[in-house]
Structure 1
Amino acid sequence: MLERKLYCSDCNKEIEAGEDIYAKMKAPKHKIMVEIKAYLKKESDILCQECFGK
């Protein structure tokens, strides 16, 4: 299975497994299930805890 890595949109730090993240995104247009990491990577701005606190 292909591993998708997530990165903070602000500092570009790789998000570790189990780490809390904050994502600014629009609600999905379709009611089908999507692979969460792929959707987050494509459709949102992801922030790590450090950058969210700034």
Structure 2
Amino acid sequence: MFKRKLYCTNCNREVQDGEEIYAKMKAPKNTIMVEIKAYLKKESEIFCTDCLDKVK
């Protein structure tokens, strides 16, 4: 299986495993199980903790 990488929307830095992130997203329409990283990458804006204050 391959590893999905997540990147901060603001600074484009790769998010490390276990790092705290903030995601701006809409609630899923369906109540089916989805792979979390794939859903985040496709359906949200991800922000690292360093960029969160810059975006507010």
TM-score for the superposition, normalised by structure 1: 0.97
Return 5+ residue gaps in structure 2 as ranges. none
Return 5+ residue gaps in structure 1 as ranges. none
Q: Detail structure 1 runs of 4+ shifted over 4 Å in the superposition.
A: none
1:1-54 per-residue CA deviation (whole Å, 9 max, x = no partner) reads: 111000000000000000000000000011100000000000000000000022
State, as a whole percentage, how many aligned pairs show the same letter.
Answer: 69
Distance 1:16 1:8 in 2: 10
Aligned to 2:34, what secondary structure does the other structure show?
A: coil
Which residue is equivalent to 1:28?
28
Which residue is equivalent to 1:11?
11
RMSD: 0.5
Distance 2:15 2:4 in 1: 11
